[in-house]
Chain A
Amino acid sequence: MKLAVCVKAVPDAASGRRIDPATNRLGRGGDLVLSDFDLHPVEEALRLREAAGEGEVVVVTLGPENAADALRKTLAMGADRVVRVTDDAFAGADLTVTARALAGALRRESADLVLFGQQSADGDGACLWAAVAELLQTPVISQVSELSVADGAVTGRRQTEYGYERIKAPLPAVVAVSDSINEPRYPSLKGIMGAKSKPHDVLSAADVGGAGEARTTVTALAAPPSRGERRIVEDDGTAAEQIVGFLEEKRLLG
């Protein structure tokens, strides 16, 4: 079984995520880390490969040159190979451009199952998988908190606004998993050492069928509306009393 996992290297939240006012784009020049949400589909792919006793896990991404270090973590966890689409033509890529780049790279792989995390950590997008599935003309199941593969089909437990559903689709298929589906493993020392010699292929825009044109723009930035005064206290043993005082002040204990 061949498994592909689509991931994203994102600016480290700890060192600050900023939109560059000159371009209105998120700055991606600094340290990049693997999006936490994307550890879960990597883990799930590794478990499926282990359960099958054979197969390959390929990590696919669209990102800049400096994403390489962040992606190595997936190899250290146990993925076999990274395929990175990198081209200046993709700067400012929006949903459809990103989907075409990933679909272009995925077409070269012909994976049985393509996995995504539940959202991007920086853009808050939560629909890229559906766009990729449309381009690959395959079924898609999103928000999956449990999945199984048997007899050439994938079955996922999906959470929607109305509760849990179970959905089944024949392979090849695209599945987006939630961050509660598993606990991602920590890379072992052996895994970290081994990651350095695993293949890390780079594809250009031409390799994936061209970059195309973004259909959306960011035109202005503004400070968010303020919520008013906030109070933060550290518990000195009287926190419960302070909360009750606050609730009385706000007339909420009436």
Chain B
Amino acid sequence: MRALVFLEHHGGAITKPSLGILAKAAALGGDTAAVLTGSGVRDLAAEAGRHGAATVFVADDERLAAPLPQPRVDALAALVRDQSFDVVLFAQSVLSSDVAAELAVRLDAGLNWDLVDLVVENGEPVGKRPALADSVWVDVGWTSAPRLAVFRSGVFDPLVTEGSAAVEELTLSLEDHSLRTELVEPAVDASSGPSIEDADVVVAGGRGLGAAEKFELVEQLAAALGGAVGATRAVVDSGWIAYPAQVGQTGKTVAPKLYVAVGISGAIQHKVGMQGSGVIVAINKDPHAPIFDYADLGVVGDLHEIVPRLTELVRQRKGA
């Protein structure tokens, strides 16, 4: 099977979820190709080689400097048509999802998304996808090649093979509409202190806290447990806490030993960022909150009563 992996990069490095897809593609057998698109990305090809790519196609062009989908689709469409890949694989992200969807209509190809695995059954690739808030798993297939697949971010770990890749430069031919969009202000990484991705304990707060000033309940419990502070997208978008704390689909993916969810309903966008946690404790006043479907201990009650008391008890235990 000829697989092509779209490699996303940020801050001069290929993203970890993208390298994970590369490991998956290499495990499927056959020659694994990867594609890098951006400005000044040629040097990243070696990193892709070390992680399992046999060939890396590189579109290195100033017009690809901004992380926008449309010019990338032009590069990928030409490449996939020329090389007739059987599968084209993406790690889910804001950019990659848009690229994959545009490529699907451009090539009249099938796209399956939110996959957690891809297996080959009777010679045909079959995708595994949790659906309807993960209440059912479905097998999905494609009726024609190329088959486009977008995987949940972080479902595969990268694998260092210490290989080296053959590098092939792509010539870029762009559509008129691909260059009309302009990045006016790039993302600024405001992270400070240790990353929540490395913490053993994460205490995260959601809209159920009710107000920005109540976020200190989460911070105090996190401090007592010696953990990091996390948050849902709603809380980050409302400005209660800065973006680096966000857990979930467009935030961080964390897998601490203990995850305490405070006032978080646990919608799928949040779940995908923390379901790998060892033990999940949830406090929420709504007994029907989805988080109770996957918390190891779920407490239905008023967080404003429970959390300060819990913080106090943890301080006492830790102090003892």
Spell out A's residues near B (CB within 8 Å).
Answer: 17-19, 24, 26, 94-96, 99-100, 119, 122-131, 133-135, 137-143, 145, 155, 158-170, 173, 178-180, 213-225, 227-235, 239-244, 246-248, 250, 252-253
Contact = CB atoms under 8 A, between A and B. Distances in A.
Contact of B110 (A26, A134, A216): A216
B23 interface: no
A216 B176 CA distance: 30
B111 A218 contact: no
4 shortest A-B CB distances, which residue pairs?
A: A235-B301, A215-B110, A127-B101, A180-B237
B70 interface: yes
Given A160-B94, A180-B238, A216 B313 contact: no
A222 B136 contact: yes
Interface string B194-225: 00000001000000000000000000000000
A215 B176 CA distance: 27
A235 B98 contact: no
Given A167-B182, A222-B139, A233-B300, 6 more contacts: A94-B110, A96-B110, A165-B67, A167-B68, A235-B302, A244-B314
A181 to B, nearest CB: 8
A79 to B, nearest CB: 25
Nearest to B103: A134
B257 A169 contact: no
A48 B168 CA distance: 47
A122 B132 contact: yes
Contact of B98 (A142, A180, A227, A240): A142
A135 to B, nearest CB: 6
Given A216-B112, A231-B296, A232-B300, A19 B310 contact: no
B136 A19 contact: yes
Interface residues of B, number: 96
Given A100-B105, A142-B94, A170 B141 contact: no
B193 to A, nearest CB: 16
Contacts of B140: 216-219
Given A100-B105, A140-B98, A253-B314, A230 B300 contact: no
Interface string B4-31: 0000001100010000000000000000
A114 B186 CA distance: 24
A167 B184 contact: yes
29 contacts: A18-B132, A95-B105, A124-B113, A130-B99, A139-B180, A158-B94, A161-B153, A161-B250, A162-B189, A165-B186, A169-B181, A178-B237, A214-B110, A215-B143, A215-B144, A219-B140, A220-B138, A222-B137, A222-B139, A224-B135, A230-B293, A230-B294, A230-B296, A235-B302, A240-B313, A241-B313, A242-B297, A244-B310, A252-B201
Contact of B105 (A17, A134, A138): A134
A163 B188 contact: yes
B57 interface: no
Contacts, number: 271
Given A96-B111, A127-B101, A142-B98, A168 B139 contact: no
A234 B300 contact: yes
B290 to A, nearest CB: 10
B102 interface: yes
Contacts of A163: 187-190, 243-244
A252 B279 contact: yes
B317 A233 contact: no
B237 A131 contact: no
Nearest to A13: B133
A162 B201 CA distance: 22
A220 B268 CA distance: 22
Contacts of B176: 137
Contacts of B99: 130
Contacts of A138: 177
B130 interface: yes
A234 B302 CA distance: 10
Contacts of A99: 101, 105
A143 B187 CA distance: 13
A243 B297 contact: yes
A230 B298 contact: yes
A161 B251 contact: yes
Contact of A232 (B93, B95, B279, B292): B292
Contacts of B126: 219
B301 A239 contact: yes
Interface in B131-185: 131-132, 134-144, 150, 153, 175-177, 180-185
